[in-house]
A and B are shown apart, each in its own frame.
Chain A
C-alpha cells in the first residue's frame, strides 16, 4: 500500500506535470530545431513567436466566449487554435520576406542571422505587449480536471490523490498527434523528404532541383503551427505572460541542443529530459520518501534539491554538461 501511495504521489507531482511540460518543451524545441536544420541559425524570436500565436488564440477565445460558443468540456481555446496558427503563419512569412530573405540571399554568417532574429524578437515582443499588455492572462475554460484528487481517493481507497488536469491530458494527446503528423510528413511525403534532403546537404539538394524558397516557406509554416500549439498548450496548462514566453527560450534551446540541433527526434527526447530534470530537481521529495523509506530514514526537511526559482539553472546545468561531454547532443545533431 505504501509503495502504491508513493507511486501515486510521484505521478501526481512529478510524472504527470513533467510529461505535460515535456510535451510543451518538445513542441517548442521541434520548431527551434527545424529552423536550425533548414535555415541554419538559432532563432531567438521563437519564444515570442509562441507568445504571438498564443495571444491570437486568447483573443479569439475571448471572442468565442462572448458569442457563447464553447467546446463543451474542452477549452474553447482549441477552437481558436487554427485561427492562431494561420495568423502566426502569416506573421512568420511576412517576417521572412521582409527580414530573413535578404540575409539568405547574401549568404550571411549564422551569427548575423542570430542578431537579426534578436531584432525580430524585440519587435514581436513589443507587438504582443502592445496588443495584450504585459500582464498575466488565463484563458482556460471547460472542465478543469479529468480526474479529481478526491474522486481518485474514493475510487481506489488510497491515501494519496491523483489529479489529472484537462490541460495536461490535452497537451499529451495533442503532442502525440502533432508529432506523428510531423514525422509522417517528414518521412513519407515528397515535400518532407525534400526538406530533409535540404537539411542534410544544401548543395546536393539544389542540384537535384529542390526549390529552396519553397522548402524555407514550408519550414516556416510548420514552425508557426508548432510554436502556436506549444504556446497555447503551455498557456492553458499554466498561464500566459509575454515575459514568461520569452524566458521559455532557455529550456527550449537546452532541449534542442541536448537532443542534437537539427534532429527532430532529439528535440522530443531533449524536451522530456529537460522537463523531467527540472521537475524532479525542484520537487520536495519528503512525501514520497515518507512512504517508501523506513521511519528511521525519513527525511527531516523537504528533501528538495533546489528551490523552484532555480529551474533555469537546471536546464542550464544540463546544457553545460551536454556541451562539455557531447556537443552534438544525444542524437548527433549538426555542428556548424
Chain B
C-alpha cells in the first residue's frame, strides 16, 4: 500500500467516524445527530490548527512549548478587544488612565533594560535598575488603580470592562495571532537559547499567568464573570427561523426550521474553519519544502552543525516560536468566536496544552498532514472516551448490585478516564510508533 493511499484512508476513516456520528446510534458510542457531529468537527478543525502551530515549533524546530493554553486564551481576548462595542463612558472614565499606566509600565521596563545595557556591571547598576523598577512600579500602580476602579464601576452587572473596538469579528482572528505573537516574542527573547526544558517551564508559567490576568483583570475581560454575546460572523439561529425564505428552503430539504438553522450555522463555521485550516496548511507545507524549512530541520537535527554552517540558531528558533504561537492565537480567536463567549475560568492546561501535544505526537510530528489528522482524530476520541468509559465501567460492574457504593463511585469517576486514556495513548505512541500515524518524510 503506498503512503499516499494509506494517508488518504486515515483521513477517510476520520470522515467515516464523523459520518457515523451523524447517522447512526449503533454501538452506543455514536449519538446519531448531525448537530453533534458538526460540533465535533468544528472543534476538531480548531484543534487541527492548534496542532499545526505546535507542529511548526516541535516538528520543524524541536521547540518544546507547553504554554499553548496561554496563546489560545490571548486569541480569545483579542476577540473581545476587537469585536465588542466600546463600553460607553469607559474610555473617558478610566480607559485613558489605564492605557497611560500600561505605557508607563512598559517604559519602566525599557528604562531598566537600557540602564542594564549602558552601565558597567557592579553595585551601581543593580541599585539603579532596582530603583527604576520600584519607582516605576509605584507610579504605574498609582496611575492604574483609579482607572481600573472607574472602569469596573460602570454598570458592573453587564459591563464593567472597557469593551472593544467594535470592529468585525473576523478581524479578530489575525489580531489574535498578532497578540499571541507579541507575547511569544517576549518569552522567546528570554527563554530561547537556554536549555531545552527551560522553554518548557517558562511557557508553562506564562500560560498560567495569562489565565490569571484574564481571570482577575475585570476591566479587561470581565474576569470570571465572562464576556458573553460576542458578535458572530454568521446569522443567529433565531433570525433564521424567523426568515420565511429560510424556513421554506429548509422544508424543501425535509428539515424543520430549528434543526436546519443550527445545522446551517454550524456548517457555516465548518466551512470558514476549513478555509483557514487549508490556507495555514498550504503555508506550512510551502514553508516545510522551502530552503527555510530545510534549514529549520537541519537546526533541529544538529544545532552545532547548523551553527557551524553560519545559521543563527537562536534567531531562527525565535522566528518559528513566534509563528507557531501566532497560529495557536488564531485558533484561540476562532474558538472564542465559535462559542461567542470568553470564559477565562474554563481554560485548563490539560485540555488546551497537553491534549494538543497528544494530537501532534499521535498524528506524526514533523508532518503537517499528520498534525491535522491527529487534531481531528484525537478530538473525536477525547469526546468519545467518556461514553466509552461509562460503557466499560457498566460492563465491569454489571455483576454488582445496583446500590453498591463502589459501583456508584466508579460510574461517577468514569469521566476522568479521559486523562488516563490520553496519557496512555501518548505513551503507547511514543514507545511503539514515535513517528506517529503519518510520519515525517
* Complex: chain B residue closest to A123, CB-CB: B423
- Are B416's CB and A134's CB within 8 A? yes
B354 CB, min distance to chain A CBs, angstroms = 6
- Residues from chain A with a CB closer than 8 A to the CB of B202 are 316, 319-320, 323
Interface size class of B (residues with CB under 8 A): 35 or more
For chain A, residues 111 to 157, give those with C-beta under 8 angstroms from any C-beta of chain B. 111-112, 114-116, 118-127, 129-131, 133-134
Compute the total of residue contacts between A and B using a CB distance below 8 Å: 131
Give complex CA distance A121, B423 in Å: 7
A281-316 CB mask vs B (1 if < 8 Å, else 0) is 000000000000000000001000101011011011
B339 at the binding interface (Cβ < 8 Å): no
A257 at the binding interface (Cβ < 8 Å): yes
- Residues from chain A with a CB closer than 8 A to the CB of B427 are 99, 116, 119-120, 123
For chain B, residues 170 to 213, give those with C-beta under 8 angstroms from any C-beta of chain A. 190-191, 194-198, 200-202, 204-206, 208-209, 212
- Are A111's CB and B421's CB within 8 A? no
- Residues from chain A with a CB closer than 8 A to the CB of B62 are 111
B399-441 CB mask vs A (1 if < 8 Å, else 0) is 0000000000000110011111111101100110000000000
- Are A130's CB and B413's CB within 8 A? yes
B361 at the binding interface (Cβ < 8 Å): yes
- Residues from chain B with a CB closer than 8 A to the CB of A121 are 354, 423
- Residues from chain B with a CB closer than 8 A to the CB of A243 are 348
B246 at the binding interface (Cβ < 8 Å): no
B273 at the binding interface (Cβ < 8 Å): no
- Are A254's CB and B205's CB within 8 A? yes
B216 at the binding interface (Cβ < 8 Å): yes
A263 at the binding interface (Cβ < 8 Å): no
- Are A247's CB and B208's CB within 8 A? yes
- Are A316's CB and B350's CB within 8 A? no
- Are B423's CB and A327's CB within 8 A? no
- Residues from chain A with a CB closer than 8 A to the CB of B413 are 129-131, 133
- Are A126's CB and B420's CB within 8 A? yes
- Are A130's CB and B420's CB within 8 A? yes
A41 at the binding interface (Cβ < 8 Å): yes
B91 at the binding interface (Cβ < 8 Å): no
* Complex: chain B residue closest to A112, CB-CB: B430
A249 CB, min distance to chain B CBs, angstroms = 7
Interface residues of A, dominant DSSP: helix
- Residues from chain A with a CB closer than 8 A to the CB of B418 are 126
- Are B197's CB and A111's CB within 8 A? yes
A46 CB, min distance to chain B CBs, angstroms = 12
- Residues from chain A with a CB closer than 8 A to the CB of B209 are 310, 312-313, 316
Q: How many residues of A contact B (CB 8 A)?
A: 50
- Residues from chain B with a CB closer than 8 A to the CB of A327 are 194-195, 198
- Are A116's CB and B195's CB within 8 A? no
Give complex CA distance A39, B204 in Å: 21
A3-45 CB mask vs B (1 if < 8 Å, else 0) is 0000000000000000000000000000000000000011010
- Residues from chain A with a CB closer than 8 A to the CB of B358 are 122
For chain B, residues 21 to 64, give those with C-beta under 8 angstroms from any C-beta of chain A. 62, 64
- Residues from chain A with a CB closer than 8 A to the CB of B190 are 320, 323-324
Give complex CA distance A125, B431 in Å: 20
- Are B205's CB and A42's CB within 8 A? no
A192 at the binding interface (Cβ < 8 Å): no
* Complex: chain A residue closest to B413, CB-CB: A130
Residue B212 contacts which of A123, A134, A313 (CB distance < 8 angstroms)?
A313
- Residues from chain B with a CB closer than 8 A to the CB of A312 are 205, 208-209, 212
* Complex: chain B residue closest to A125, CB-CB: B419
B317 at the binding interface (Cβ < 8 Å): no
B215 at the binding interface (Cβ < 8 Å): yes
Give complex CA distance A307, B137 in Å: 14
- Are B208's CB and A122's CB within 8 A? no
B441 CB, min distance to chain A CBs, angstroms = 21
B357 at the binding interface (Cβ < 8 Å): yes
Kindly list the 8 A-B residue pairs having the minimum CB-CB distance in the complex, ordered from nearest: A122-B423, A126-B420, A123-B423, A126-B419, A316-B205, A129-B416, A119-B426, A119-B427
Pairs across A and B, CB under 8 Å, 11 listed = A111-B64, A115-B430, A123-B420, A123-B423, A243-B348, A253-B201, A305-B137, A310-B212, A312-B208, A319-B201, A323-B202
Known: A247-B208, A315-B205. 9 other contacts (CB 8 A): A116-B430, A123-B420, A125-B350, A126-B421, A127-B420, A129-B419, A250-B204, A307-B216, A319-B205
